[in-house]
């Protein structure tokens, strides 16, 4: 999984503060279920990887032995956030002035109502435990959203 963009026009940027509610990324596109943010905030690339790995680990537990022997991917996970904002820091013992520091990590801005992760083929009984397990690893509040199929 990529933890930073391959190319950026500028090495450093201002830190955008997500303030408004998301009106573009609030619809489930691929999966049956999704994690939707309830507040504005930031996700680091390490946090995104942690949640993705935790989802993989937990969803693997819920698959049955018969299905696992078929060597197929049973559950699908889509990550809808990408860390594209550099977060810069200067050294702890550096004096005031002397310019902006180097990019130490990459952040993804998350707006209220934005879909962060999508997944499918999950048993209904496992959903409540899964959401508690995943939201404990996120720095912002999130809830489970189900895809409404009309038709």
Question: What phi, psi does 83 have (nearest 5°)?
Answer: -75, 105
Domain ranges within the chain, ordered by starting residue:
33-90+99-146
**From CA 36, how far away is CA 111, in angstroms rounded?**
10
The overall average pLDDT reported for the chain is 88
Calculate what percentage of the chain has a pLDDT beyond 70: 91
Comparing 42 with 1, the larger pLDDT belongs to 42
Contacts of 148-151 spanning 24+ positions with Cβ under 8 A: none
**From CA 78, how far away is CA 80, in angstroms rounded?**
6
Q: What does the pLDDT look like over 129-140, one tens digit per residue?
A: 999 999 999 999
- Rounded average pLDDT over 117-134: 90
Q: What does the pLDDT look like over 30-87, one tens digit per residue?
A: 999 999 999 999 999 999 999 999 998 888 887 655 555 555 667 889 999 999 999 9
Q: Is 84 exposed, middle or buried (0-12, 13-18, 19+ CB in 10 A)?
A: middle
Structural contact between residues 142 and 54, judged by C-beta atoms closer than 8 angstroms? no
- Rounded average pLDDT over 133-148: 94
Looking at domain 33-90+99-146, its CATH class is alpha beta
The model's pTM is 0.86
């Amino acid at each position: 999984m990529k933890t930073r963009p391959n190319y950026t026009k500028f090495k450093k940027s201002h830190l955008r503060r997500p303030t408004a509610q998301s009106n573009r990324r609030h619809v489930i596109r691929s999966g049956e279920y999704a994690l939707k943010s309830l507040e504005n905030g930031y996700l680091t690339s390490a946090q995104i990887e942690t949640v993705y790995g935790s989802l993989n680990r937990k969803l693997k537990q819920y698959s049955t032995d018969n299905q696992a022997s078929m060597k197929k991917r049973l559950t699908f996970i889509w990550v809808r956030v990408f860390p594209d904002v550099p977060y810069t820091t200067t050294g702890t013992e550096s004096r005031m002035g002397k310019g902006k520091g180097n990019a130490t990590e990459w952040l993804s801005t998350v707006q209220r109502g934005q879909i962060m992760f999508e997944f499918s083929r999950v048993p209904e009984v496992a959903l409540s435990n899964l959401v508690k397990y995943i939201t404990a690893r996120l720095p912002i509040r999130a809830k489970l959203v189900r895809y409404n199929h009309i038709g």
